[in-house]
Amino acid sequence: MIEVKQLTKVFTAGVRAINGLDLAVAEGEIMGLLGPNGAGKTTTVRVLSTLSGFDSGSVKIAGFDIDRDPEKIRQSIGFVAQRTGVDYFLTGRENLRLQGHMYHMSRADIDKRIDELASYFQLTEHLDSVVKTYSGGMQRKLDIATALIHRPKMLYLDEPTLGLDTPSRHSLWQMIRRLNSEQGLSILLTTHYLDEADKLAHRVSIIHQGKIAACDQPQNLKSQIKGEALVLSFAEQNQANQQFGQTLAGLDFIKDQLWEQGKLHLYVENGANAIALVSQQAMQAGIQLTHIALAQPTLDDVFLKYTGSSMEQDGEQEAEPWWAQWAGKGGGGWNKGQWAEQSDPQEGDESSTETAGATQADDWEKWQGSDDQASDGQDGDWQKWQQQRPCEDQAESDDAWPSQASPANNWQQWQNHNNTADQADSKPPSENDWIHWSPADKEQKD
C-alpha cells in the first residue's frame, strides 16, 4: 500500500527532517510510526499525504507515484491531522457533506455515506448540532469520519488520541481496530504513546532522527530486550529500605536497580528465580514487602535500545516514566549489552539467556555503529540482520496480521496470541499469595 524508499527532506533552515527513510505498509495492515516529537513523524505523514514536498527518494502509495499522480493518491487516502480540521461553526452533517463535495461525490452517494459513517462512529444523534458543542472525542471521531467519506484504501492518523481522556482513547482505539479488521482499511498511525503503538499496530516502526531505526511486530521488538524487571513495594518507607537496596545491588543476579516513587525496580535475567531470592533477602533483612511485580520489557525499553536515548530526553511532554532515571544513568554499572539480544530475532529463541554478556556488549557497540571499534561482522550481528531483512521485505512475507479475508475478531485472536507469546518465556506465577505476578509492566502504569 505504501512504499517509501530513501526519502529525504531538508527544511530551508538546513534541518534534515527526514533522512533516508524506508517504509513499507502492506494492504490491510496497521503500521505504527513511533517516535518522540521532532523525530520526523508528522513531516513523513505530510509528505505521504502530498501536503509537503521532499528532496529525494521515491514514494508510491496505492500503486501511484507521488510525483506523477498526486491527484490519484489524494483520492486513495484519508488524512486525519493532529489538529482537528473540522469546521466548528458547521454541523457534523455539513462538515461531512462539504467533504463529500471536495471529493466530487454525487449528492445521493454523500447522503448514503453520511448515514453509514454516522452510525459507525455513533454520531447519528449529534449529526445536526454544531461541532462547537461536540466533546473532544466526538470531534476526533467526526474528523476521522470526514476523512473516510470517499472510501479511501489508506488512512493516515497523526497522533489520533493526543489530548483525549482515557475513555475516549479506548473507544477510539476500538473503532480504529474495527475499521481495519472489518473494512480492511490500511492504516498508518503516528504516535508518541508507546502503549498506543503496542496495542494498535500490527507492526511498529521506530523513527529516530528522520529514519526508521527498527521495524517489526511489537512482541518481536520486545523480545529482543532480554531480561525482566521486578518492582518491589514496601510496607513502610524508611532508611532500611535504602540499605536493603544497597545489599541487593551487591548480588550477582541483579543487573541494575532504580528507585521510583518509593518503589524499587530490579532488572534481572530470570524473574521467577529472582522473586524467590529477593523475598529471601527481604526476610533476612527484616524488610516487609507488600508486593512484588514481575514485568516484561515494554516498548519503552525497546525504544531506548534503538534510539540510544529515552523519549523523555528527546523533548517529550509526558510525565517522567520509570525508566528515564535508568536511562539517565549512562554507564553506571549497567551494561547495555546484557540486554541486547545477540541471536537473530527471527528465530524467536527467547529462552537462551546464557550467552556471555561480554560478547553481547561488543555486538551492541557494533550495532550502534557509534563506536570506533573495528567491526568484523559476526554472524547473527544485528546490523547484518537488518540489512538482510529490511522493512520492505517483511511487508510481503509477513502474514502475522489478519488479512482482509479473515473474520472480524481476528484482531482479538492476534492480540491474544501476542500476549501468550509474551508470557511464554516467563515462569509461571509463584504460589506465595503476597507475590503478584503481572504479565506486563505497562498494565500497572495504565
Partner 1 sequence: MIADTWYLFLKYVRISIRAPLWTLFNLIQPLIWLVIFGQLFSRFAQVPDFPTGSYTEFFIPGVLIMTVLFGSSWSGISLLREINSGTVDKMLVAPIARSSIVLSRVFHAAIQVVVQTLIIMTVARIMGNHISMRPDSVLLSLLIIFLLGLAFASVSNGLAIALQREEPLVVLGNMMTMPLLFFSSAMVPKTFMPAWMQMLANINPIEYAVVALRTVLLPPLDTSSLLLGLVVVAGFAFAMLYWSVTAFAALRD
Which residues of this chain interact with partner 1, rule CB under 8 A?
A: 11, 46, 49-53, 71, 74-75, 77, 79, 81-87, 89-90, 94, 98-99, 101-104, 130, 146
> 112 vs 132, which CB is nearer to partner 1?
132
- Rounded to a whole number of angstroms, the minimum distance from the CB of residue 131 to partner 1 is 11
- Of 25, 318, 54, 290, nearest to 163 (Cα)? 318
The three-point CA angle 46-47-51 to 5° equals 60
> 8 vs 270, which CB is nearer to partner 1?
8
- Rounded to a whole number of angstroms, the minimum distance from the CB of residue 157 to partner 1 is 13
Q: Is the four-CA dihedral 108, 114, 119, 124 of positive or negative sign?
A: negative
> 91 vs 223, which CB is nearer to partner 1?
91
- Rounded to a whole number of angstroms, the minimum distance from the CB of residue 138 to partner 1 is 17
- Rounded to a whole number of angstroms, the minimum distance from the CB of residue 349 to partner 1 is 45
The counts of H helices and E strands in the chain are: 17, 15
> 83 vs 351, which CB is nearer to partner 1?
83
CA-to-CA distance for 308 and 38, rounded, in angstroms? 16
- Rounded to a whole number of angstroms, the minimum distance from the CB of residue 382 to partner 1 is 35
Which of 347-367 are b and which e, b meaning 16 or more Cβ less than 10 Å from the residue's Cβ?
A: eeebeeeeeeeeebbbbbbbb
- Of 282, 311, 287, 130, nearest to 213 (Cα)? 311
- Rounded to a whole number of angstroms, the minimum distance from the CB of residue 147 to partner 1 is 8
Write the DSSP string, 92-150.
HHHHHHHHHHHTT--HHHHHHHHHHHHHHTT-GGGTTSBGGGS-HHHHHHHHHHHHTTT
> 90 vs 400, which CB is nearer to partner 1?
90
User: Alpha helices of 184-270 — where are they, by DSSP H?
Assistant: 194-200, 218-223, 239-249
> 138 vs 254, which CB is nearer to partner 1?
138
